[in-house]
Chain A
Amino acid sequence: MNIKYLICGFVFFLSTSTFASPNAFTVRSVPLLSTPSLSGSVISNLNKGTNLQILQRQGGWYQVKVPAGTGWIKMIAVRLKRPAAAETALGTIQYRSNTTLTTGVRGLDEVKWVSGGQGLSLQQLEQYKVTTEQAEAFAKRGSLSARGVDYVQE
């Protein structure tokens, strides 16, 4: 047998086994529903502390996989597990910049918010001013339209 296939198979096994491991858990008992809506039929009731795999999010709902099946639960009832060490690195997005991101040298003074620079001037704060018209055009390009939503009273 070709060694390449063996390696490929092993890598595939590793990736699928990682994917299948639970990455979240419930913080209270919550029904697992057939659709992302309260009108969905109940597949089962998940106890507090149930491990699950999040498949996707739709609005305030997570589609999750648990041993009892796949269904939807309210995302607010879920907490994420701490990712494995390798994944906690600072994201995968690389910045377009000719400068290197540096860790600021923090002194004993806790008020040192951000460092590594010489401070900002008022001119710099004005430098990237965006007008209302520019913001509206930007929103339009992203298919964002304003809608009326009242503040929520607790």
Chain B
Amino acid sequence: MCKSKYGLRKISLIILSALFLSACQVNNINLTPLMSATKKSSDLFEKSLEEEVELGQEVSLVLLKNAAIYNVSDVQYYVGSIGMWLAQQTERPDIPWRFTVIRDDSFNAFATPGGYIYITTGTLKQLDNEAELAGVLAHEISHVVRKHHLNAIQKEAKMGVAADLVRFLKDADGDSQNSTVAFGDHSLENKLLMTVEDIYSDGLAREDELEADMMGMVIAARAGYDPMAYIRVLQKIDAVQDKSSFWQTFSKRHPPAEERLIALESVADQLSQMQGEELSQRYKNMLR
């Protein structure tokens, strides 16, 4: 958790920059050091990807603080190759995509900003072929392409931190010495940490999930896979999903599979005649 502090602090500065800019008009506090730091970190467009990747790394370390990597390199490279091939079919082929299999027997896959994708061994067990795995990975890739988590974190952080900031500025009451407290006080970072954990625990907005479903099927189709394999995955989830711990985290974060299947009707209609590779044997050989 300590490792995350630095990155989250940096991100908090970026998020706060806009708030401080307007706050400065209202309060007569010397915030020059903070202003210059934030300006520096958000100046260049190229840097914003760097910041996104850094945030993704920090979020990953927080979410995976009790996790274990699956130490079978063949499987890691297999999943990574599928993921990288899919990512090449998107609008963000060049970001540093990383795909990692986590040793955990629950059903779970998730993404963090900057191109970090995780899938559990429990999920791999439930899938029957490479096209199904491609569908799941393409869904997570879509979240990164559309920056769903990044936007959610920034939105929530702005709302949550704004209230604190107003209080902080009032308390400072013109004393420029106190304005540096923002750097030393970890409460802002802790707030952001809680925000990140809330977003990953509660899940993204329903429309973000449905968008990732639709985009993911198209990305899988672009990569040469049978896109309808993903519908099969959702149907399997719909049939077996229950209140057990196996599904607990997944269920909390996603709309019900039935709702997702209904939302995918028009996409399914348009892609249903598309042929594509299923690669069952390659999948079974790899995961046997």
Contacts and interface: CB of A to CB of B under 8 A. Distances in A.
A139 B85 contact: yes
A144 B200 contact: no
A122 interface: yes
B273 A60 contact: yes
B161 interface: no
B77 A97 contact: no
Contacts of B221: 147, 149
A115 B66 contact: yes
B218 A132 contact: no
A148 B222 contact: yes
A121 B4 CA distance: 12
A119 B88 contact: no
B64 A119 contact: yes
A60 B64 contact: no
B200 A88 contact: no
B200 A61 contact: no
A80 B239 contact: yes
Interface stretch (A3-11, A14-22, A41-49, A103-111): A103-111
A101 B226 contact: no
B116 interface: yes
Interface of A is mostly: loop
Interface stretch (B15-23, B100-108, B150-158, B182-190): B100-108
B83 interface: yes
Interface string B76-95: 11001111110011000100
A76 B81 contact: no
A130 B276 CA distance: 23
Q: Which of A93, A104, A115 has the most CB of B within 10 A?
A: A93
A2 interface: no
B277 A143 contact: yes
A90 interface: yes
A90 B272 contact: no
Interface in A119-154: 119-122, 124-132, 134-136, 138-139, 142-152, 154
A114 B272 contact: no
B288 A114 contact: no
A139 B224 contact: yes
Contacts of A122: 57, 61
Contacts of A138: 81-82, 85
Contact of A144 (B68, B85, B125): B85
Interface string B60-74: 110111111111111
Interface string B222-241: 11111010011001101110
B192 interface: no
Nearest to B249: A113
Contacts of B65: 119
Given A82-B239, A118-B68, A152 B125 contact: no
A60 B271 contact: yes
Contact of A59 (B72, B240, B273): B273
A131 B99 CA distance: 12
A146 B90 CA distance: 11
Contacts of B124: 93
A88 B269 CA distance: 30
Contact of B264 (A76, A106, A114, A136): A76
Nearest to A143: B277
Interface stretch (B26-34, B36-44, B166-174, B279-287): B279-287
Contacts of B200: 111, 113
B130 interface: yes
Given A139-B85, A142-B277, A149-B222, A99 B103 contact: yes
Contacts of A99: 71, 103
Interface of A: 37, 57, 59-61, 74-76, 78-83, 88, 90-91, 93-97, 99, 101-104, 106, 110-122, 124-132, 134-136, 138-139, 142-152, 154
Given A93-B125, A116-B66, A152-B270, 11 more contacts: A57-B228, A59-B272, A106-B245, A119-B66, A120-B68, A135-B88, A136-B88, A144-B225, A145-B224, A152-B218, A154-B267
